């Protein structure tokens, strides 16, 4: 169920002399080895990204700046997460449909993922995704 999907705290080191914050993502906070990093930026507020599921890929999304919503769908239920803190990340397992929208001005979405880019890993049609979830239940 989508209840097992959680926002994960990214350790934050606040500077004692008021020099701001530093957050660090080490191997131990993710269940996979990071193979690729990409980021979305300059996304118009009326645009949406995603609109697909991954067969194998796992990913960790962080709003490095600004905010946006992530709608997750497992074929049975939908849940919306708002990402708006650089020290919180959303760990999305494989087999989940996602849509990202409501991007604020200046929003940057960092994505740390478990594999190289493979178009064959994408389910870009919602009906294909629904059939796929039925075969793997
Ligand atoms: C995801 C969301 C959050 C590449 O050539 N290499 C890459 O590593 C990626 C991610 C994309 N591309 C190409 C493929 C398309 O021609 O860039 C173009 C845009 O990709 P896409 O339409 O998949 O972009 P989004 O923002 O809808 O989805 C991306 C990721 O693909 C996806 O894994 O979860 O960001």
Q: How far apart are CA 80 and CA 88, in angstroms?
A: 15
Side-chain half-sphere CA neighbours of 87 within 13 A: 11
Maximum Cα–Cα distance across the chain: 55
Ligand 1 site-directed mutation target among 50, 73, 112, most atoms within 8 Å of CB: 50
Predicted confidence (pLDDT) at residue 16 exceeds the cutoff of 70 = yes
Rounded to the nearest integer, the mean pLDDT of the chain is 96
Q: Provide the pLDDT for residue 136.
A: 74
Atom 26 in ligand 1: residue holding the nearest Cα: 49
50 in Cβ contact with 100 (< 8 Å): yes
pTM, rounded to two decimals: 0.96
Helix ranges (DSSP H) in 1-137: 126-136
- Correct CATH for 2-136 of 1.10.3720.10, 2.60.120.10, 3.40.50.200, 3.40.50.1980: 2.60.120.10
Atom 4 in ligand 1: residue holding the nearest Cα: 117
């Amino acid at each position: 169920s989508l209840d097992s999907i959680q926002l994960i705290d990214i350790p934050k080191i606040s500077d004692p002399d008021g020099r701001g914050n530093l957050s660090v993502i080490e191997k131990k906070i993710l269940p996979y080895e990071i193979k690729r990093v990409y980021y979305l930026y300059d996304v118009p507020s009326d645009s949406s990204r995603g609109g697909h599921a991954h067969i194998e890929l796992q990913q960790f999304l962080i709003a490095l700046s600004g905010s946006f919503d992530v709608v997750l769908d497992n074929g049975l239920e939908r849940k919306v997460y708002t990402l708006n803190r650089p020290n919180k990340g959303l760990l999305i397992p494989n087999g989940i449909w996602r849509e990202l929208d409501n991007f604020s001005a200046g929003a940057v979405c960092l994505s740390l993922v478990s594999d190289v880019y493979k178009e064959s890993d994408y389910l870009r049609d919602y009906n294909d995704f629904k059939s796929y979830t039925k075969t793997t239940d």
